[in-house]
Structure formats: C-alpha cells, structure tokens
Structure 1
Amino acid sequence: MVTNIAAYHFTPLDQPEALVADLRERAGSLALRGTVLVAPEGVNMFLAGDADAIEAFLAPMREDARFEGLRVKYSESLAQPFARLKVKLKREIISFRREGTTPLHARAPDVKPATVARWLQQGHDDDGRRVVMLDTRNDQEVAYGTFAGALTLPIARFTDLPAALEPHREALKDATVVSFCTGGIRCEKAALWMRDDGMDNVLQLDGGILGYFEEVGGQGYEGRCFVFDERVALDPALQPLVDAKVQAA
C-alpha cells in the first residue's frame, strides 16, 4: 500500500532555493515521488511512497518553526500514482497573480466541514441566510464532481476566476458564500481577494473537498474529486477509481 499526502503551508521563506535543495535531497533519498513547489510565500506538496518514508520526510518540517501548524491530508493507493519526483522553485505556490492575496499575516474566515454539511442539510446557515457553494476550480476538475447546486465558473485556470465571478457578484449579496477547491490552497487566496474586494459574505471551506471527505464523507457532494496524479479522482471515501472518466453531460 502506498501512502499519499497533500499539504501546503504559507510562511515567509527568505531563502527558498535552499529549501528546494533540502527537500529534493530528502525526498529522493526516501524514494518518494510527486511534486513539491516552493516559493517565497511557502510550500505546496503532493507526495507518495512508503508510510515510514513519508513520516521521515515530514519529521524535520514538523520541528521547523516556519512550518508550525502544517496540516497534512493522507490517503492510500495500491500503486504509486506519480511517475517521478519534481521539486521546483516558483514565484507562487499557487498562481493567482493578484497583489496582497498571500495569507501570511491574515486569512479569510473559514468554516468547518461539519458546519457546511449541516448548513447544506438544513438549507441555510445559522442566521437563516441561503448558502451558495462557490467552486473555484477549473472546468476539467468540476467535470468529475462538485457540491450539488454549486456555482461553477467557466474557467480554464485559477487566474481567470476574478473576471468569471464578476457577473455573479450582485446575485450573491444576500447569500453566505462558501468558496471551495481541492485541498483549500486556492481558496486561501481567492477568499482573501474576494473579501478585500468588497465581498464580506465569503468564507472558505476549511481543508477543501479532500478535508470535507475526510471529516464528513460525501454529504451534499455529487461525483468525485479530481486530483493531480495518476489516480485521476477520489471518491468520498478517498479511494481512487482506476477507470474514472468524465461522463458526457
């Protein structure tokens, strides 16, 4: 059995090049495969390998004050879902290209998966406002599944989101908007940008879809969640579907 992890952490890195070299050497020596992105704003990781090797890789990071509070999502697969190891230096760990959207000093309010599940079941939030689930992922990802009734946007990449959201802003004013993505990283930036741009009714789903699956299962979710490796998509039990294919609409 192969252990898979997904993790990101926003933290200022003065010498990201040094961290790239360190993580590449450590992951390589432990025979891990996957992708690690490092930028001055933090790290974003998708790795797979032996369970003990994964923990050995994470141990130094857990002891590093820069990564205090690092949250890791785990899942398992029968086969290694990555062909090779890639550790790269980037300008951003998730590209959004909007100034002031890196949550190093402040982040948009979040809402826990159990609370979202309750809101979806009762049809409104705790103040009686309607709830709109806002999918910040692209067309390809949405095609595999999303929350029932979610607002999805015709975007090919994350940087398209601001323009695609513009026609919907007026209609969202009376709602509690819960933005979500695969693991939470995109909403860290998107929700912060939306609130700074006047949408003070926006929350972010803590842990994203994968965190939701992990804590409450698939309640209110239709289909599966696209992931960025050879497993293609995970069901609410975090199990890969080898024959997963996008069904024609």
Structure 2
Amino acid sequence: MNIMTYQTLLYYCYSPIENAEQFAADHLAFCQSLNLVGRIIVADEGLNGTVSGTQESCTAYMEAVYADGRFNKTEFKIDDVDEPSFIKMHCRYKSEIVHSGMRNPKEIDPNRQTGIHLEPKDFLEMKDQDDVVVLDVRSNYEHTVGRFKNAVTLDIENFREFPEKIKELEQYKGKKILTYCTGGIKCEKASALLLKEGFEDVYQLHGGIIKYGKEAGGEDFQGQCYVFDNRVTVDVNSVNPSIVSTCRNCGTTTAKMINCANPVCNEHFTQCDACGVELDGCCSDVCKEHPRKRQYDGTGYYVKVPQPVNAEKISKRKHKQIIKGS
C-alpha cells in the first residue's frame, strides 16, 4: 500500500495586510524554513495560496496562519498527495490576490458585500431548480476540462475579463445565480461584482469545487477539476464521474491537459497520450519544429523559466513614461 506522507493546502483569506510587500518577503522565508513548496500571492487585501510539503510542515504552517489574528478565518482545503505538488516556493506581492480587471479594485470588498455562501450540500439541493442558473466564473482552459452539468460558462482567458462579460448575463437577472470556482476565491469577487451590477439573488459555492468534491462527492461535476500546481487536474466526482474534454488534435475523449512544449507558445490544452507522443508534447507540427522546444516527458508540465528580455516592449514603456512626464 502506498502511504501518502505529503499534503497540498489550498486556501485564501481576504483580510487587510499592512506593509504587505514586506510581509510577502518575510512569509517566503518562513515557508522556506518549513521546506514548503508552492505559490502564494500577497496583497493589501489578503492572501491566496497553494503550498505543499510533509504533513508536519503543513500542520506547522496552518497553525502559524491561524495564530495570526488577521487570518484566523482561513479555511484550508487539504489533499493527501504522494509527492509535493510544486518544485519551488514562490511568495509574491501583487496589487490583488485575484486580478478583478477593474480600474479601481477597491470598489468591491468581499468583506463588506459578497454572494451568500452555500455549503456543498445546499448547492447540491439548489443547483437543478428551475429558477437557478449555475455560473462558472473560471477561465476557458479550466471549464474545458471540467464543469458542472448545465453550467453557464464564459469565454474568458483570465478572470480579469469577467467584468466585461457581466452584460452577457443580463438575461438571468430574474433568477438565482449560483457561482462556483476551484476553491472559492474568484467567487468572492465575481458575486460582489454581480451584486454591484444589479443582480439580486447571488450565491457562491463555499470552498469551491474542491470542497464540494470532499463533502458532496462531486455529484454532477463533469470531467476533472483544474488545479494550479503540477498535478494539473484532479478527480472530484466519486458519484457519477465522466469525461467531457477531447483531444485538441484528434478529438479522442481525454482528460489530460498539458502545456505546449514550445515555450514561446506554451498554450494550455487537452491532448491524448497518442498525440502527445506523435507531436512530442506540442499543439502543432509548427511548434514541434521550434528550436526552443522543451523536452517532453509525458506530463506536459514544465518549470517556469525566465524568458528573454523584450527590449522593444521596454523601450515602448519608457517612451510612454517620458510622454506622460512631459
């Protein structure tokens, strides 16, 4: 029997952080002291992270987060894994823990107004009612590989495009809107934006798809759930599982999602093993012949490497700054 000795923690917390940039640097050092790997975003508005390590290290991390009064309402989604889900540890300061795409992000504050949180069992009971619309607020590559049955999906590459898509949802204003995402963090802002735009009955799946899988068996979630680590996707449905995605190249049913081996392309897409071998992990013959193509090991997951400096882009940016300053 394979005994899993590692864990992966998915979490977020909207809570104001003073000197957040310094906090990010200190928090990185703390995570490294616990030998954790993962990715954490720190902003003035809070924390958004996924970390992975031994059970002891993960327990110590959770205890430290809870001990900080600012984050004692944090909920951790815990997965047992047979190896760490990242290779390195990153903790970076950004303007938002989820990029909202708004010119003034402070117009919405999930601590003041957000959708009604539905526990998984309540979401399960409500989702098929006639006056309900289930809304996926995730990006294309996420809902392509897995989504709730009959969910409304949006054609967006990043969540920052969500505000522009709200007008497409006007037809549902008289219904109850049930939003969902991977772990709940995007729904905090998506539901707040919907309320701001006049939608009245707005709800969100508390804990997201991950918690729904653990507490409601993932019933009626079709396909797999995309996660932001080297597992890429995980199973969540133990009740009526299915696969809804197909290979981009041949159309065969597959749940495997990879990044194109050509780092210049790096497109995220579903590809079956046979096409992966034939195209050497690339999305096309053109990318397969690219001189910078990475070695394909069958996973389609690559450690991020620094890209060459784009001198032209830097020059244009400096030119704009000079014009603004004149």
User: Same fold by TM-score, threshold 0.5 exceeded?
Assistant: yes
1:117 partnered with 2:124: yes
The aligned counterpart of 1:244 is: 256
Give the C-alpha shift of residue 78 in structure 1: 1.5
For 2:82, the aligned partner's letter is L
The answer to whether the aligner puts 1:7 opposite 2:14 as a matched pair is no
SS of the residue corresponding to residue 71 of structure 1 reads coil
CA contact (8 A) 1:108 1:191 kept: yes
Contact in 1 for aligned 2:139/2:159 (Cα 8 Å)? yes
Matches within 5 A, 1:108-187: 108-120=115-127, 123-124=128-129, 129-169=130-170, 171-187=171-187
Tell me, in whole angstroms, the C-alpha distance in 2 between the residues paired with 1:237 and 1:52.
Answer: 28
Contact 2:101 2:161 in 1 (8 A): no
Matched-pair contact (CA < 8 Å) for 2:219–2:237: no
Cα offset, 1:174, TM superposition? 2.9
Residue 121 of structure 2 aligns to a residue whose secondary structure is helix
Which residue matches 2:223? 223
Deviations 1:156-209 (A, max 9, x none): 01111122231231x212321101111000110010111011011221111111
Correspondence 1:94 to 2:98: yes
One-letter amino acid of the structure 1 residue matched with residue 224 of structure 2 = R
**AA at the equivalent of 1:244:** K
Indicate the residue corresponding to 1:200 in structure 2: 200
Matched, 1:59 2:71: no
**One-letter code of the match for 2:132?**
V
The answer (yes or no) to whether the contact 2:101–2:162 under 8 Å persists in 1 is: no
Query: RMSD over aligned Cα, in angstroms?
Result: 1.7
Identity over the aligned pairs, expressed in percent?
30
- Secondary structure of the residue aligned to 1:143 is helix
Code of the aligned partner of 1:106 = Q
**1:21 matched to which residue of 2?**
25
Distance in 2, Cα, partners of 1:84 & 1:230: 11
User: Is contact 1:41-1:104 (8 Å) kept?
Assistant: no
**8 Å CA contact retained: 1:40, 1:92:** yes
**Preserved CA contact (<8 Å) 1:182 1:226:** yes
Distance of 1:41 and 1:236 partners within structure 2: 30
Task: Please give the alpha-carbon distance, in whole angstroms, between the structure 2 residues aligned to 1:105 and 1:161.
Answer: 20
The equivalent residue for 1:214 is 214
**What is the rounded CA distance, in whole Å, between the counterparts of 1:105 and 1:64 in structure 2?**
21
8 Å CA contact retained: 1:36, 1:87:
yes
Normalising by structure 1, we get a TM-score of 0.90
Partners of 1:135 and 1:18 lie apart in 2 by: 34
Q: Give the Å deviation of 1:237.
A: 5.9
Relative to total residues, which structure has the larger strand share, 1 or 2?
Answer: 1
Alignment match of 2:78 (pick from 74, 78, 90)? 74
How many Å apart are 1:130 and its aligned residue? 2.1
Cα drift, residue 247 of structure 1? 6.1
Is the Cα–Cα contact under 8 Å of residues 101 and 159 in structure 2 kept in the other structure?
A: no
Which residue number corresponds to residue 104 of structure 1? 111
Question: Residue 232 in 1 paired to residue 239 in 2?
Answer: no
| Amino acid corresponding to residue 192 of structure 2 in structure 1 | L
TM-score normalised by L of structure 2: 0.69
Which structure has the larger Rg? Answer: 2
* Cα contact 2:148–2:220 (8 A) shared by 1: yes
Equivalent residue letter for 1:219: E
1:21: how far off? 2.4
Moved more, 73-82 or 46-55: 73-82
| Alpha-carbon distance in 1 for matches of 2:271, 2:120 | 27
1:34 to 20, 33, 38: 38
**How far apart, CA to CA, are the structure 2 residues paired with 1:198 and 1:230?**
39
